[in-house]
Structure 1
Amino acid sequence: MTGPVRVGVIGCAGIAVRRMLPAFAASPDIEIAAVASRDPAKARQVAERFGCRPVHGYGELLELDDIQAVYVPLPAALHAQWTEAALNTGRHVLAEKPLSADRHRTGELLELAGARRLVLMENVMFVHHHRHRAVQRLADDGAIGELRAFHAAFTIPPLPDGDIRYDPELGGGALADVGIYPLRAALHFLGPELDVIGARLVQGAGRQVETSGAALLSAPGPVTAQITFGMEHAYRSSYELWGSEGSITVDRAFTPPADHVPVIGLHRGGKTEEIRLEPHDQVAATVAAFAAAVRTGTLPDACDTLRQAELLDAIRRSAAHGKPIGTG
């Protein structure tokens, strides 16, 4: 495939307008072809800003014949429906997280994409930031000895009462929204053989969804992982790897601004070393990875996406039953 990838955007969600559409517009490998909304005025407003075609209705966008890929930033409960619809029309898809509400549906979508030789990427952006590769190299090189434990947290302050993340019908809840980050970080560093030992989900006063939670996971050997998440908390975005001889700490781990100077804390021998890296735009890096996959016809490895869905399901079941849940 030559030339930029022509992308259609299904929905005018905040993340699309604030982060992804500007990144698409700045990328030499992407051309924004159209933006769809159920509100024609909103579609016109966003399309005018980004110099593309406004479309009234999501299905109507998929009827256009000049779109090669689709970005799906809709509420979580709608991701699977419109991802499947886009795949069935032969479009590559970049979809917001989570890809679907359960592991079986996620597996079906990944199988459909693979069968049709289409790129299906879940938009977990932090894994494309170069800081985490640097952390992995330190751990692999024995900087903290043998790994013993992994802790990660992502919590955010309370949202406005009408926010869709408080709406169970739209797939709301802390686990799917902010819990994915520390869980994916554990998966990223510890590998797919994680298992859920126990979990708790807490429903805030007056809410219909869980607003906080935690989970304990095991990895092969002596390693345990603990994740904490919530959306009615003081802000925290961090992870820590503890080893037999030291530890590595990372703050502002999951959603750093493009101009943020990444810092890795290396603690060993009673001393702390701050390793500073060049700023890195993880949104632009994600867009570049998606465009490269589409242009080269290289299908992304879907193992982490599927394993993440399985672990999310296991956390829900463990919290509901109050006991360890297998994911095999």
Structure 2
Amino acid sequence: MSAPAARPLRLGAIGTSSIAWRRVLPTVARMPEWELVAVAGRTPKKAARFAEHFGCAAEDDPGALLDRSDVDAVYVSAPTSLHRHWAERALLAGKHVLVEKPVGVDATEARGLCALAAERGLTLRENFMFLHHPQHAGVRELVAGGRLGRLASFSAAFCIPPLPEDDIRYAAALGGGALLDVGVYPLRAAVLQLGPDLDVAGATLRTRVSDGLDLSGQVLLASPSGVLAELAFGFEHTYASTYTMWGDRARLTVTRAFTPPASHQPLLVIEEQDREERRTLPAADQLALLLQEFASAVRAGGGAVGQHTDSIAMLELVDAVRTTARRIPVR
């Protein structure tokens, strides 16, 4: 006789963001591992809209949601400047936490949250979906197997066109700016593929004259093994979501690195001096894989300190970019 299936984990959502509405909560709603029980936003009106759409309860404020005994874990999609605040409140309330990337605005916030989660034996995850897509493990296998030869450089870009003028990502006080929104993707990819011990060798940020908000930038990193990484990001470009690893035998490009749709079959392009190989990989739903891993970690009672280490390392790089970058004012 088979064992009864475990009951779904009960999720509360803090934040009524676009990513919650379009991607995360619809995926939660169709997964047997999860049950969305309540949502709270900046206003009761927004929470009520989400609750009606997703068939859950609405709370007037996030504090009331954290007081609920029927919430096992909390998804935080508040503005970036409030990630640390609400993730910390949730951990102190005994809830496991999935927080939108990045986990905080700097490494100090990341260290504090990771230490609190470890102290309380709770699971803390960043919603970096791309880390869970199998294509990146495939890249690591090719590199480790010597397919590229001796690795010399890594390049990555995540860029999007200009946003509507009232977009929250243009609000400096709320943790806006290209570095914390899209820049963290190539930085996190560099940590994933090259390891956490990276140094910022140089950086440039294009910043808005009116308030100093960073609109785009480029970063040069160096790894202990001598591999150089060149990263680009911003709100001023046509769309790009890619990275390339280049060795003395071949160069490998991930053509849709960060935001592939669930139905997309990834394409890896391997270039040598006299030939090109194009590998099409199976499609994968990276968000569903992340939510499955989060559920497994919650049931296991925490763990994955390595993910904490990489989250902190990435925000240490963000801090170093801010400190060392040459700023180019733009109107």
Corresponding residue of 1:256: 260
TM-superposed CA distance for 1:267, in Å, is 1.1
Aligned: 1:8 with 2:7: no
1:151-176 C-alpha deviation (Å, 9 max, x unpaired): 00000000000111111110000000
- Whether the aligned pair in 1 keeps the contact of 2:182 and 2:233 (CA below 8 Å) is yes
Which among 289, 306, 316 is matched to residue 312 of structure 2? 306
1:187-214 C-alpha deviation (Å, 9 max, x unpaired): 1000011111111111146564100001
C-alpha distance 100-320 of structure 1, shift in aligned 2 (>3 A): farther
> How many residue pairs end up in the alignment?
322
Counterpart code for 1:157: P
- Distance between the aligned counterparts of 1:199 and 1:98, measured in 2? 20
Which among 26, 32, 41 is matched to residue 37 of structure 1? 41
TM-superposed CA distance for 1:298, in Å, is 3.7
- Distance between the aligned counterparts of 1:222 and 1:59, measured in 2? 48
Where does the alignment leave 5 or more consecutive residues of structure 1 unmatched? 323-328
TM-superposed CA distance for 1:218, in Å, is 0.4
1:104-161 C-alpha deviation (Å, 9 max, x unpaired): 1210111001000000111111010011111111111111101000000000000000
- Distance between the aligned counterparts of 2:212 and 2:64, measured in 1? 33
Corresponding residue of 2:120: 116
Where does the alignment leave 5 or more consecutive residues of structure 2 unmatched? none
Corresponding residue of 2:143: 139
TM-superposed CA distance for 1:263, in Å, is 0.6
Q: How does 1:156-235 map to 2 (within 5 A)?
A: 156-204=160-208, 206=210, 208-235=212-239
Corresponding residue of 1:282: 286
Q: How does 1:50-61 map to 2 (within 5 A)?
A: 50-61=54-65
- Distance between the aligned counterparts of 1:13 and 1:46, measured in 2? 10
- Whether the aligned pair in 2 keeps the contact of 1:121 and 1:300 (CA below 8 Å) is no
1:47-74 C-alpha deviation (Å, 9 max, x unpaired): 1221111111111111111101000001
- Distance between the aligned counterparts of 1:36 and 1:321, measured in 2? 38
TM superposition outliers: structure 1 runs of 4+ over 6 Å = none
Corresponding residue of 1:272: 276
Corresponding residue of 2:156: 152
Corresponding residue of 1:326: none
Counterpart code for 1:3: R
SS in 1 for 2:142: helix
- Distance between the aligned counterparts of 1:208 and 1:276, measured in 2? 42
Give the TM-score, by structure 1 length: 0.95
- Distance between the aligned counterparts of 1:44 and 1:109, measured in 2? 29
- Distance between the aligned counterparts of 2:77 and 2:311, measured in 1? 17
TM-superposed CA distance for 1:320, in Å, is 5.6
Aligned: 1:128 with 2:132: yes
SS in 1 for 2:325: helix
- Distance between the aligned counterparts of 1:222 and 1:245, measured in 2? 17
Counterpart code for 2:65: L
- More deviation, 205-214/230-239: 205-214
- Whether the aligned pair in 2 keeps the contact of 1:167 and 1:208 (CA below 8 Å) is no
SS in 1 for 2:128: coil
Counterpart code for 1:84: E
SS in 2 for 1:299: coil
Aligned: 1:319 with 2:321: no
SS in 2 for 1:198: strand
- Whether the aligned pair in 1 keeps the contact of 2:207 and 2:327 (CA below 8 Å) is no
SS in 1 for 2:206: strand
Q: Identity of counterpart residues, as a percentage?
A: 46
